[in-house]
Amino acid sequence: MSAPEAPLEPVSKASQENGSKIHFTKEVKQVIDKVLKSDDPMDAPDFNCVDYINQLFPNEQSLATIDETIQRMQCEVSLIDDNIRSVVRGQTNTGQDGQMALYEAQKVISTLYDHIIDVKTRAEKTEEMVKEITRDIKQLDCAKRNLTSAITTLNHLHMLVGGIESLEKLIEKRLYGEILNPLQAITEVNQHFQQYSDIEEIKNLSQSVDRIQVTLAQQITEDFKEAFSAKPNAGHQRLGLNQLADACKVVSVLDPKVKKELLKWFIAQQLEEYLHLFHENQDIAWLDKIDKRYAWLKRHLLDFEDKFGAVFPLDWEVSERITVEFCRLTREQLSQIMAKRTNEIDVRLLLFAINKTQAFEQLLSKRFTGVTLGHSNNTADKLTTPALAESSQGDGSGVINPALVVFHDQIGSCFKAHLDIYIKSIDRNLTELIEKFVEQAKEPLKVAEAKTTVYPSSADLFVFYKKCMVQCNQLSNEQPMYELAMVFKKYLREYASKVLEFSIPKLLTTSTSIGKSMSLLTRDMQNLSTAAGQVIHNFLKEGDAQRFSRDDLIRICCVLTTAEYCLETVQQLEEKLKEKVAPAYVNKVDMSEEKDVFHRIISSCIQLLVQDLEAGCEPSLQAMAKVQWQNINNVGDQSPFISSMCANFKQTVPILRDNLATSRKYFTQFCHKFVNVFIPKFINVLYKCKLTLSDGSNNVLGCEQLLLDTHSLKTALLDLPSIGSSVNRKAPTSFTKVVVKDMTRAEMIIKVVMTPVQPPAHFTQQVLKLLPDITIAEYQKILDMKAVKRVDQLQLIDIFKRTASTAAFASESTETTEINLDSKAAAGGELNTDSNLIADATSTENVTQVPVSATSSSAIGSTSTPKRAFIFSVGSFTGGGSSADKSADGSTPAGGDRGRIRKLENLLKKRLP
């Protein structure tokens, strides 16, 4: 074994204070990490030994391997020590080897320096030799450049002087064909001499060139005026067309202002005849002869291009310039004449002029590129596509995109100020159309001949709307389009009220007028006895059973489907208007009010259908109430009143279903609304049925017969959507749930009636089991069905309330209310018939239904008649020995129950003071 190594000297305190750790920059650390990749957590700069030990030994069971871990650590420490010793030993000879390497490096550097000095010296000598050799060559190059420039300048000067002399002779002879090339040459040469303008001779030559250009401009302008003048001068010879064509080429070389002025004069001269022919004081200038204006331009352009087309260069676009100026003059003339004769403009004349103008503008857009209007050639290529040629018919029926018509509104913009005439005309036409629809609505409905239940007038209305919208979009998509939308809104409401609502059949019953005249009388009779009030109530109900005929039902369905069609089409109309109208008016187009009107009509129709079907069941319900259930001695098939209801369903529902075939969702909504109205009404009649025998016991057979009838009605209602249909379609789940829930409640009421009253506790528990959400009013009605005496009802109600309250507290209900039933006791312990246990003098059916689980005990035996139906007695919760503090079995609730009761008391004080 080798001798142990001497331990390393400890770091001094001063060195520790100065920092014994070596801190590297972030870049150095990144390089070290790339070279010395390590996954050992001990190599991490933020290594924590405590966290590392906790990671190795997270629990007591892991301490079983601590010896192995210590041994492994010792092996790693020994290996690191060996590596350190190897590195230290390897550094013993490093100093000597470093000195030798440094000496060799210095020697090589000295030799390299000598070589560099030698190369530099040689380079300097070579550079001096090259300069000596090329000194004369540089001088020759400079002389060559100067000589070449002098020769070029002299040649240009010779060309300029000679060109000026020759141009002056050619100008005098008007040889424009020979002038073009010399003029271009001296113009370019003159640009070359601009840098020598400080030389007097050069300056004079430049001024001579300018004078030649001015002379040419004046002379060519005079020649054109002479050539196109009606009376030629005797001493001036007219130029031929070929000479004029050469003159135009010369003008193209001159200042652009010359070309501009020449074209301005020429176009004005070409349109001079037009201004005279169509002056505002001429009959031909009015709108009814507007097509003659456009015909004149067509003939004039053909004549111009035939005679003078070869005179002007193609890039001058003279024909298009003439057309643009014609459009400007026509627009101004039409604006002036229409402003003076506004009263003579009617919609036919206006549309005639607009259609002719649009057709003319489309023709111009095909013929010309629009370069003089600032349009690019790419746009012009798009304008000549076959699609545009097909859609741009002169009758105005095609829809033209204004962005693709380069001459759009070049003339037609003058009509925009008078488009209110068009909107007023649309308003008048729609008024006549609505009147026509109203007359059609008065005619008998021919269902057999109609292929649909939607009124044809609604389709006619929207077809008219579409035509107006397309036509107005061609005229303008700004203010006129917005005003048209407002007209559409107006007549949608007119159609809804005058046609659809007018078409809804109405029942004229005498009971309506009697009910209105007797309404005040019945208010004063509220304090009369219940029997007298019931007599008057029955009197007022007479005549309410009048029903719609088959044709009336079909008409109501037609109104409903028409309103649905209008509702959907109005939505599409609104979207299309927002698409067509200008962006500034998009947010102003809103037809939500009109859609609400059609929604309201649909709801009214459904309500009428529900009322009609309900009225058909009214005689059956009255017959049900009149049956002597206590006398039934056998259970047979369903009762006649159930068969009558089913017959009513089979007679009415198929008619509605067939006529609402295209509006299935509204037929389903009708079924929903009917059962929501009918079943509660059936239950109210059910409460009026007397099922008790003379000895006070229940007639079981009567109850079973009533239960059978209720089940039969439940089956009929479940089959209501598909009754009488050859296709057995399953009813919607939501509808089935409503019927099953409500009719099951009716069955449970009958089962409760079949339960004996004695013992009261068992009866009360059975009631709460079968009808967990029953109210006090409903409970009392069940007792009335069982013919329980009023005195006995008091005890049963008290037990019922205490039992329900205990059940409610056991379920920790957070929202409860209390009903205090104050009644006036009659002598001998019986109640007065004028007072009710839980309601005021009006009727027990009008009392708000309050869940029993939210009630507490009442104060029986009050000496005054209650002024309210419900009086919340807070004090009954606070008495230490009151009946409210006892459960149904007579035991006192624990302290936690009292806390919940007081919490309930505070809640009631806040919500129901």
Give 197-265 as a 3 state SS string.
CCCHHHHHHHHHHHHHHHHHHHHHHHHHHHHCCCCCCCCCCCCCHHHHHHHHHHHHHCCHHHHHHHHHH
Query: Of 809, 841, 875, which closes a domain?
Result: 809
pLDDT surpasses 50 at 378: no
Q: Are residues 585 and 653 in the same domain?
A: no
Percent of the chain having pLDDT more than 70?
69
Query: Of 792, 809, 826, which closes a domain?
Result: 809
Q: Are 556 and 505 in contact (CB under 8 A)?
A: yes
Q: Are 732 and 721 in contact (CB under 8 A)?
A: yes
Position 431 scores a pLDDT of 92
For range 825-831, the mean pLDDT: 35
Position 2 scores a pLDDT of 39
Of 456 and 138, more confident: 456
For range 125-134, the mean pLDDT: 85
Confirm whether 365 is domain-assigned: no
Please tell me the total count of domains within the chain: 3
Q: Are residues 469 and 589 in the same domain?
A: yes
Distance CA 848, CA 850 (A): 6
pLDDT surpasses 90 at 517: no
Confirm whether 461 is domain-assigned: yes
pLDDT surpasses 50 at 518: no
Please write down the long-range contacts of 420-427, taking CB distance under 8 Å and 24 or more positions apart: 420/480, 420/483, 421/345, 421/346, 421/347, 421/350, 422/347, 422/350, 422/351, 422/472, 422/475, 422/480, 423/480, 423/483, 423/484, 423/487, 424/347, 425/347, 426/468, 426/484, 426/487, 427/487, 427/490
Task: Tell me the CATH number at 444.
Answer: 1.10.357.50
How confident is residue 603, by pLDDT bands cut at 50, 70 and 90?
A: very high
How confident is residue 20, by pLDDT bands cut at 50, 70 and 90?
A: low
Position 491 scores a pLDDT of 93
How confident is residue 289, by pLDDT bands cut at 50, 70 and 90?
A: confident
Of 404 and 820, more confident: 404
Backbone angles phi, psi at 632, to 5 degrees: -70, 130
Is the omega angle on the peptide bond into residue 640 within 30 degrees of 0, that is, cis?
no
Distance CA 701, CA 49 (A): 91
Position 825 scores a pLDDT of 34
Q: Are residues 601 and 731 in the same domain?
A: no
For range 612-640, the mean pLDDT: 86
Confirm whether 445 is domain-assigned: yes
Nearest to 859 by CA among 876, 881, 840, 878: 876
Task: Tell me the CATH number at 738.
Answer: 1.10.357
Confirm whether 325 is domain-assigned: no
How confident is residue 539, by pLDDT bands cut at 50, 70 and 90?
A: very low
Position 753 scores a pLDDT of 83
pLDDT surpasses 90 at 673: yes
For range 792-801, the mean pLDDT: 82
Per-residue pLDDT of 173-201, as tens digits, reads 767 766 666 666 666 665 666 666 666 66
**128-137, 199-208, 329-338, 378-387: segment of lowest average pLDDT:** 378-387
Confirm whether 259 is domain-assigned: no
Q: Are residues 738 and 639 in the same domain?
A: yes
Beta-carbon count within 10 A of 357 CB: 26
For range 556-577, the mean pLDDT: 93
**3-12, 494-503, 621-630, 720-729: segment of lowest average pLDDT:** 3-12
Question: 3-state class of 176 per DSSP?
Answer: helix
Instruction: List the Cα angle 539/543/545 in 5-degree steps.
Output: 120
For range 409-427, the mean pLDDT: 85
Nearest to 605 by CA among 542, 673, 545: 673
Query: Of 595, 610, 625, which closes a domain?
Result: 610
Q: Are 469 and 576 in contact (CB under 8 A)?
A: yes
Q: Are residues 603 and 637 in the same domain?
A: no
Per-residue pLDDT of 293-347, as tens digits, reads 889 988 888 888 888 877 888 888 888 888 999 999 998 888 888 888 888 888 8
Distance CA 622, CA 844 (A): 19
Position 225 scores a pLDDT of 78
Confirm whether 278 is domain-assigned: no
Q: Are residues 622 and 755 in the same domain?
A: yes
Q: Are residues 679 and 707 in the same domain?
A: yes
Of 803 and 901, more confident: 803
Position 786 scores a pLDDT of 79
Q: Are residues 562 and 694 in the same domain?
A: no
Structural domain including 636 reads 611-809
Position 231 scores a pLDDT of 63
For range 563-569, the mean pLDDT: 93
Q: Are 423 and 483 in contact (CB under 8 A)?
A: yes
Give the count of alpha carbons within 13 A of 527, CB side only. 3
Q: Are residues 103 and 78 in the same domain?
A: yes
**5-19, 81-95, 319-333: segment of lowest average pLDDT:** 5-19
Question: 3-state class of 480 per DSSP?
Answer: helix
Q: Are residues 578 and 629 in the same domain?
A: no
Structure tokens of 339? Answer: 């402003």
**218 Cβ contact list (under 8 Å, min separation 6):** none
Mean pLDDT taken over the chain: 74
Q: Are residues 493 and 579 in the same domain?
A: yes
Confirm whether 697 is domain-assigned: yes
Scanning the structure block, which residue is given the tokens 């870049």? 27
Confirm whether 582 is domain-assigned: yes
Distance CA 764, CA 802 (A): 10
Q: Are residues 639 and 588 in the same domain?
A: no
Q: Where are the alpha helices (DSSP H) in 719-837?
A: 733-754, 760-770, 776-785, 790-810
Per-residue pLDDT of 204-262, as tens digits, reads 666 666 677 777 777 777 777 777 776 655 555 667 777 787 778 777 777 778 888 88
